[in-house]
Structure 1
Amino acid sequence: MDASGEKYSILLPTYNEKENLPIITYLICQYLNESDINYEIIIIDDGSPDGTLEVAKQLQKIYGSDKIVLRPREKKLGLGTAYIHGIKHATGTFIIIMDADLSHHPKAIPQFIRKQQETGCDIVTGTRYAGDGGVYGWDFKRKLISRGANFLTQILLRPGVSDLTGSFRLYRKKVLERLVQSCVSKGYVFQMEMMVRARQFGYTIDEVPISFVDRVYGESKLGGSEVIGFAKGLLYLFATT
């Protein structure tokens, strides 16, 4: 693939991802090297007590400091601030955000890039709810909550995107900077607000179907309190946008 000289910065916020980080890093490098894409992986570890940062340092030795950029923080400060922190250090014109827990497969990254090149859009978002996208490893309750949240959001906010709570996306760097600065939500709602604000600002969004696989190692981060937080955040967005 000709990525037309563009550079892509992949932000990987991590917290206790010692087992997953070597695998996700290997896969990103494999798929992007195959496609001849210029990239860097920015690992933003939030003071993981499990030794994630030590693993990241080993990966930097293996892949080189031009490919693996370490920008750790002292403690867990949340996803939104992790992105702000990562953007500051990103040297790419485009930024890809994804989870480090293997729920997002790096093979989709070249598809995101291709879609952006074809359409010239500002954002490409991975969707579990269109085309041949899907969710694997979730029980019925999780699927119901996710689908329900998405359905409710579609009705209230009409964002023009089929998957709002997903977090596997490609952004123009300057677009992501503006969106992150304008977002007030935390946690699960943050991804949704990004899409709502993008629509408000008139940015163009395209979608690529992805398969989402639940965490291979470690605990899932979605519980009852997240669901309540999501509902509150949704109502806030509905009231303010």
Structure 2
Amino acid sequence: MTLVIPTFNEADNIPELLDRITAAVPPGREITVLFVDDSTDDTPEIIEKEALRTPLEVSVHHRAVPVGGLGGAVMEGIDRSGSRWVVVMDADLQHPPALLPELIARGEETGAELVVASRYAGGGDRSGLANRYRVLVSGASTSAAKLLFPKVLREVTDPMSGYFAIRREAIGRAQGPGAPRPLGYKILLELIVRCRPRSVAEVPYDFGVRHAGESKSTVREGLRFLRHLIRLRTTSGTPSRALAFGAIGLSGFLPNLALLWFLTRTTGLHHTAAEVIANQAGMVWNFVLIELLLYRGRKQMGPRARLLSFVALANLDLVARIPLTLLLVSGLGLTPVPATALAMVLVFALRFLCVDRFLYR
């Protein structure tokens, strides 16, 4: 078994953490403890010092460039391990090391490829979350993940857990374009979606209070998680990207209507001219969200060229819809409502394909 522990400025936690891991490992159990460190303090030096007094095999790999955040550190640790089971846990002692033997035992007993230490399974507890804000964020993140991935997460109550054991064969299943590409500190969801473990088991646990140091859960990390969640959903295929594209398009009605209200109420501008201007605001809104959430990392043109191309496509959408509707009414004999609906679907599909295949190819 390899225990992978990502660290970022956790120097004060290392001595106690290694003491508890040593006490938790039963006699005869072979275990390698691998710290993958992104610290800017003396954490790697403390690990090396404490490893000398620890009866376990302990090593530290310090990354000069922390690619992918803590999730990237976990994946690098997994790549460096060669054991049948890999266990991942944090260094802040909110994950109890005493649970290590039970995680592996549950996997061996059930034949599961993934065993998750869950705060939400029967008997689990999340009281170690620092405040109501973190409780709210944790619950909202879990709900969002399960909403977007209902099938793959049906057996998992805590997809945001940072404490789990996974078999080597499950990790090796995700290769090439489907290989994990972590972003931020939530790696379990990435592994479930990319690796699709054939069976999952859970072990409830009490999420403890941080022993020392500061939490890595920040607003910035929350935004990275949201972006990562959308990327995971949309990289699973063209239909998923099309749904996300449509949802972003619908959200553009908010700035459109807000600016239309402002222009007609405060400037006296005619509603037709106001609608044209407001429509451009909605297009820019959509462009920004698509850039940040949907096609991040798939940009070959410059930003100005992308914006102008996107706005041109959106305006062509409006121009093409009216004659297409007339054609459907006069040529196919449809009534105006279904003709308009069909025209909207066809034009949307054409615009999505232009954006997906050419603008962000």
What TM-score bracket applies, with the shorter chain setting the length?
A: 0.7 to 0.9
Cα deviation 1:72-94 (Å, max 9, x = unaligned): 22243322332333234324211
Q: Tell me the matched-pair count.
A: 229
* Deviating more after overlay: 185-194 vs 151-160: 185-194
Q: 2:60 aligns with which of 70, 74, 85?
A: 70
Cα deviation 1:55-88 (Å, max 9, x = unaligned): 1111221125x61123222243322332333234
Cα deviation 1:169-222 (Å, max 9, x = unaligned): 1011232344587122401443322222233xx521111112112422111111
* TM-score using structure 1 length: 0.86
Change over 3 Å in CA distance of 1:95–1:155 after alignment to 2: same
Unaligned runs of 5+ in 1: 1-7
Q: Report whether the alignment pairs 1:94 with 2:85.
A: yes
* Structure showing greater Rg: 2
Task: For 1:20-39, list aligned pairs within 5 A.
Answer: 20-33=13-26, 36-39=28-31
Amino acid at match of 1:84: M
Where does structure 1 differ by over 4 angstroms across 4 or more consecutive aligned residues?
177-181
- For the 8 Å contact 1:189–1:233, the answer to whether it is kept is no
Partner Cα distance (1:28, 1:110) in 2:
10
Partner Cα distance (2:121, 2:88) in 1:
20
Partner Cα distance (1:215, 1:82) in 2:
20
Q: 2:224 aligns with which of 212, 229, 241?
A: 229
Higher helix fraction (1 or 2): 2
Change over 3 Å in CA distance of 1:44–1:121 after alignment to 2: same
SS at match of 2:41: coil
SS at match of 2:214: coil
Aligned twin of 1:51: 42
Unaligned runs of 5+ in 2: 237-361
Q: How far is 1:117 from its partner? A: 1.2
Aligned twin of 2:117: 126
Amino acid at match of 2:102: Q
Partner Cα distance (1:74, 1:44) in 2:
11
- For the 8 Å contact 1:28–1:106, the answer to whether it is kept is yes
* Deviating more after overlay: 183-192 vs 13-22: 183-192
SS at match of 2:207: strand
Partner Cα distance (1:87, 1:33) in 2:
23
Q: How far is 1:42 from its partner? A: 0.9
Change over 3 Å in CA distance of 1:177–1:81 after alignment to 2: farther
C-alpha RMSD over aligned residues: 2.1
Aligned twin of 1:184: 181
* TM-score using structure 2 length: 0.59
SS at match of 1:38: coil
Partner Cα distance (1:133, 1:27) in 2:
20
Task: Select the structure with the greater relative contact order (CA < 8 A; seq sep ≥ 6).
Answer: 1
Task: For 1:127-142, list aligned pairs within 5 A.
Answer: 127-138=118-129, 139-142=131-134
SS at match of 1:19: helix
Change over 3 Å in CA distance of 1:29–1:179 after alignment to 2: farther
Higher strand fraction (1 or 2): 1
Partner Cα distance (1:81, 1:140) in 2:
28
SS at match of 2:46: helix
Identity across the alignment (%): 29
* Deviating more after overlay: 228-237 vs 117-126: 228-237
Q: Report whether the alignment pairs 1:155 with 2:155.
A: no
